[in-house]
Structure 1
Amino acid sequence: MTTLDLAAERAGRRAWLGLLIVLGPVALVAMDGSVLYLAMPGITSALTPTTGQALWILDIYGFVVSSLLIAFGSLGDRHGRLRFLLTGAVVFSAGSVGAAFSPSPELLIASRALMGLGGATLLPSGLAIIGGLFPDPRQRSRAIGVFAATFAAGFAAGPVIGGLLLSRYAWGSVFLINIPVVVLFVALAPFLLREVRTAGPARVDALSVALSAVGILLTVYAVKTAAAEGLTATQAVCGVTGTALLLWFARRQLTLEHPLLDLRLFRDRVFTVAILTGVLSLVAWAATGYLTGTYLQSVLGHGVLAAALLALPGAAVLTAACVGASGVVDRIGKRSALIASHFFMGVGLLLLLLTTTGQGVPVFIASSVVTGVGYGLSFSLVADTAVAAVPAERAGSAASIAETSNELGNALGISLLGSLAALCFRLTGPGVAGTLDETLDTPGLSATTLAEAEHAFLTGLHVAIGVASALCLALGVLAVRWVPKEQPS
């Protein structure tokens, strides 16, 4: 073996060690997108949030992350990715402590927003560093597969770990588990990871950051509050204003020399379908996790630990599919893998329409296993496509688009489909309270009223899941038509 070969081998070892170090914060950020699904009944009882506050507790984290990922990806490219990783880890841990000891819904929402601020710095810089560690396309694909599998495993493990903690400790414990991992990362990362910067303009377009963040928040606020309370003139104005700001943001990106969101990347149809897959897969995942977590506990009557354990088969399949995605692509091609992910998700979600107020555990497990295959494929393909499609100096921005698609999908899943389910409950329920958990906590209700509330919740679950399934299947059909067949090599 030559000296060059030995050097290449040593470089490979350092690269994989660097990957291992980055995976800890990645798992935490992903886990905190789903850890509250099983904790919400306990939070509702302890803090008594309103319907709107409960939805904000769940999705403010995702909206802050998705609003800032693009900007922070660009800043990391220009000012140092390692610096952003370390700063994000500290901010994330501070938000975690605040969330764990929040005495009111308002403070919990604020702490979750602070966690989102930290998470927005962690994800794009972590993925960009990994892309730089592995210049070989096949190695990079495997490394990104591991990254995506860790992200997926964190998402899948969130309810399970949360359930284990909640069976013994108060709801705040689901946030305190972040602290040891962050402390270890901050202590080791400066010694094991090198700072990475790329040449580029030092400034980030502040107007674009403001347009995207405010546009997203106003639009979602209008949707959420209209579903929970009914449409008002204020909500209509917020919705129209938010939509206009997002359109302005998109038009502005086409005129900037260095845009926050490089819309030219979407000229590639495979890239476009992959990013749409990233959004839609997390829309389905987040809505399903939130609604089925409530269904298992509040309708079927399972304890929080039992509900968490029921999610294990789907979590295992999801993680295995994510790790094996590169092998699937090698066998059937990226196009076929993308198409397959949509149909696995769509068909798996349809199974949930068989659930009833009396039984549904076997259906839930079967659904989570089938959809887990689709989720795993989509998580891996989105990240791999984004980083591989751009030059190395734009890796952070491409990573931001990939992670933004996931985080935005996560937030939209709860706010849009969660709001749709809440609307169905408000229209068909007994009218005692805005959510099932609030209704169940109301003293002195008759058995008839409780049964009516459970049926109303199940109706909302079926409507929301049916919409998610239809969207997945429709995008799968469009992928068949839009994505060109790969030429044999």
Structure 2
Amino acid sequence: MHTTRSPWWGLLVLCLPMLIVSMDVSVLFFAVPDIAADLHPSPAQQLWIFDVYGLVLAGLLLTMGAVADRVGHRRVLLIGAATFSAASVLAAFSTSAEMLIGARAVLAVAGATLMPSTLALIRHMFTDDAARAKAIGAWSAVMAGGVAVGPIVSGALLEHFWWGSVFLINVPVMIALLVAAPALLPGGTGDRTRRIDVVSAALALGAVLPTVGAIKAMGTDGLTPTALAVLTAGVALGVVFVQRQVSLTHPLMDLRLFSDSRLAVSVAVNLVAMVGIVGNAILVTQYLQSVLGYDPLAAALWSLAPTVVVAAVAPMSTTLAARWGGPAVMAAGLVVAAGGFASTWAAGVSSLWPMLAASTLIAGGLVAVATVVADHVVGVAPTGRAGAAAGMLETSSELGGGIGIAVLGSVLTAVYRASVDTSVPGVSGPAAVGLGGAVAAASRLGGDAGRAVLDAARVAYVDGLHVAATCAAALLLVTALLTLAVRERTSEPVDSRP
């Protein structure tokens, strides 16, 4: 059953949940002090309040994409929207840290149903390649904008309301989706003959969750024995998961889809692009706040500046891909972003504009890559497996983001520790380990001594930033060359299994 209305109205409806889901990744940035004062979470609980959303989301994307392919994408989208609204209310009125962590986990379960369903529905609604490319360009711009706008919305709400308001803003948007979706989105897109292998679903969760968690932990604590053991366990379960998919008639992840080079290359390039996007966000956020000294709201507003370019780049990239081919545009975007990372060498301890210019190049280049990748994956996937293909894409995004935090953060930390001038009185202990410790030490010391500690730490941080950015630029350039080396296949998309 298909709606007779214009699919562009349906696209507007599909952008609603993606704006909210992407905002929920960053909306807690400013609310942490208020939550800490009200719920008194332990350090471990505070970390879980942040991390549980991304971890559960990453672990369930593959499963929920496959569920949507069987049950129906609109139906799963509506169930997810209703669950997201209920969990948002639960989170807003949480009375303990444990309750908030549980609510965030439920939000992630609902978010995992929304993300693959929206892309799969775009695949069903836009059968023309050019129209679908434009639709995915708009979808990508909304996704990127949501992550950037989240801290701004959070800061504005907290100026006037209590911390729970950052969750309640989700509710009216999801209600609008529930009202509009039945009239504007196609139904009957599921295939009831498909089966969901529960063991595969458990293996996917068991592989992705510890792998992403370990990678994120390495970004903050380094290569600890615990993180290494968790990572090894996750990888081992991932191997078992892949082996099981080969033997199933109805696999959770159809590995035959990767026989089409367009999908295989797109998923790999998407992972690398997310390394750059998330890694850069981590580097720039601390640079604006701790090196240049901006308060959180001002830093968030300045970090929003590159999204002006992103809003134009996402739709334009699909037009260019139609003319020059997806791999050419992906490679060009990677090269532009690599140039942005290289240009961070112009940024010092007191220069805002060089960093903004670099971030604009990085954001523009990598959002162009992500947009073309999404169009590639949705276009090449068989219609009946669009949800599963979208789940694979989003899972690679979560893995790439975790790797970006871990690798670039670890490089920066290592260079900081090697570069910081420990001969400056006060630069010891936490101040010698990271910039956050140095800021706290400088605040305690005050006066000339505090300024000396902060100056030494800022110089060391910028040194680490330059080296981490160079590593990112090298990774992007290598990926660009490999992308061009793999030619697109001219054959029809690979059929999914019956």
User: Which bin holds the TM-score, normalised by the shorter protein?
Assistant: 0.7 to 0.9
CA distance 1:455–1:251, change in 2 (3 Å): farther
Q: Distance in 2 between matches of 1:109 and 1:418?
A: 25
User: Is 1:292 aligned to residue 290 of structure 2?
Assistant: no
Structure 1 counterpart of 2:300? 308
Residue 105 of structure 2: aligned partner: 113
Correspondence for 1:29? 21
Deviation of the 1:124 alpha carbon: 0.9
Shift of 1:335: 2.3
Query: How far, CA to CA, are the matches of 1:47 and 1:246 in structure 2?
Result: 36
| Distance in structure 2 (CA, Å) of the matches to 1:106 and 1:231 | 28
Matching of residue 432 in structure 1 with residue 430 in structure 2: yes
Return the offset for 1:327: 1.4
**Offset at 1:119?**
0.8
TM-score (norm 2): 0.84
> SS state of the match for residue 430, structure 2?
coil
- Alignment of 1:238 onto 2:238: no
Given the superposition, is the C-alpha separation of residues 147 and 245 from structure 1 closer, same or farther in structure 2, using an over 3 Å criterion?
same
1:417 aligned onto 2:415: no
Between stretches 386-395 and 38-47, larger displacement belongs to: 38-47
Q: Name the counterpart of 2:366.
A: 375
Q: What letter matches 1:385 in structure 2?
A: H
- Write the mapping of 1:128-277 to structure 2, written as runs, cut at 5 A: 128-166=120-158, 172-226=164-218, 228-229=220-221, 231-277=223-269
- Alignment identity in percent? 38
Is 1:402 aligned to residue 393 of structure 2?
yes
2:123–2:386: 8 Å Cα contact kept in structure 1? yes
2: CA distance, partners of 1:481 / 1:124: 29
Q: Is 1:282 the counterpart of 2:274 in the alignment?
A: yes
User: In 2, Cα distance between the equivalents of 1:343 and 1:42?
Assistant: 41
CA distance, structure 1, for counterparts of residue 97 and residue 453 of structure 2: 27
Change (3 A) 1:106 1:425: farther
Aligned to 1:469: 473
Preserved contact between residue 92 and residue 168 of structure 2 (Cα < 8 Å)? yes
Residue identity matched to 1:367: A
Question: What is the letter of the counterpart of residue 321 of structure 1?
Answer: V
Conservation of the 8 A alpha-carbon contact between 1:52 and 1:225: no
Question: Which is worse superposed, 269-278 or 472-481?
Answer: 269-278
In the TM superposition, residue 213 of structure 1 has moved relative to its aligned partner by: 1.7
Distance in 1 between residues matched to 2:38 and 2:464, nearest whole Å: 25
Question: Which one-letter code corresponds to 1:292 in the other structure?
Answer: V
Residues 233 and 387 from structure 1, CA distance in 2 versus in 1: closer, same or farther, beyond 3 angstroms?
A: closer
Contact kept? 1:26, 1:123, Cα under 8 Å: yes
User: Is the contact made by 2:194 and 2:250 (CA closer than 8 Å) also made in structure 1?
Assistant: no
Worse-superposed segment, 274-283 or 219-228 = 219-228
In the alignment, the residues of structure 2 paired with residue 142 and residue 363 of structure 1 have an alpha-carbon distance, to the nearest angstrom, of 32
Whole-Å separation in 1 of the counterparts to 2:345 and 2:96: 36
The letter of the residue matching 2:128 is D
Quick one: which amino acid aligns to residue 365 of structure 2?
A: G
Deviates more, 1:293-302 or 1:422-431: 422-431
> Which residue in 1 is equivalent to 2:330?
338
**Do the aligned residues in 2 keep the contact of 1:69 with 1:121 (CA within 8 Å)?**
yes
Deviations 1:326-362 (A, max 9, x none): 21113322221111111111111222233333x2310
Q: Is 2:219–2:406's contact at 8 Å kept on the other side of the alignment? A: no
> Aligned AA for 2:331?
I
> 2: CA distance between counterparts of 1:93 and 1:423?
42
Q: Distance in 2 between matches of 1:369 and 1:441?
A: 30
- How far the C-alpha of 1:278 sits from its partner, in A, is 1.5
Shift of the 373–178 alpha-carbon distance from structure 1 to 2, 3 Å rule, reads same
Does the 8 Å CA contact 1:39/1:171 hold for their aligned counterparts? Answer: yes
Task: Provide structure 1 residue ranges, at least 5 long, that are not aligned to the other structure.
Answer: 1-7
Report if aligned partners of 2:222, 2:410 keep a CA contact under 8 Å in 1: no
1:388 aligns with 2:400: no
The one of 65, 74, 87 equivalent to 2:57 is: 65
One-letter amino acid matched to 1:197: T
Q: CA deviation at 1:238?
A: 2.0
Q: Which moved more, 1:197-206 or 1:379-388?
A: 197-206
Cα distance in 1 for partners of 2:91, 2:283 equals 22
Q: CA deviation at 1:322?
A: 0.6
Deviations 1:98-152 (A, max 9, x none): 4445577665544333222111000111111121112222222222222222222
CA deviation after TM superposition for structure 1 residue 54, in Å: 6.2
Partner-residue secondary structure (3-state), 1:313? coil
1:19 partnered with 2:11: yes
Distance between the aligned counterparts of 1:113 and 1:439, measured in 2?
Answer: 33
Alignment of 1:31-110 (within 5 A): 31-36=23-28, 56-100=48-92, 108-110=100-102
Identify the range of structure 1 (218-227 vs 25-34) with the bigger mean alpha-carbon deviation.
218-227
Q: Which residue of 1 aligns with 2:496?
A: none
Please state if 1:480 is matched with 2:473. Answer: no
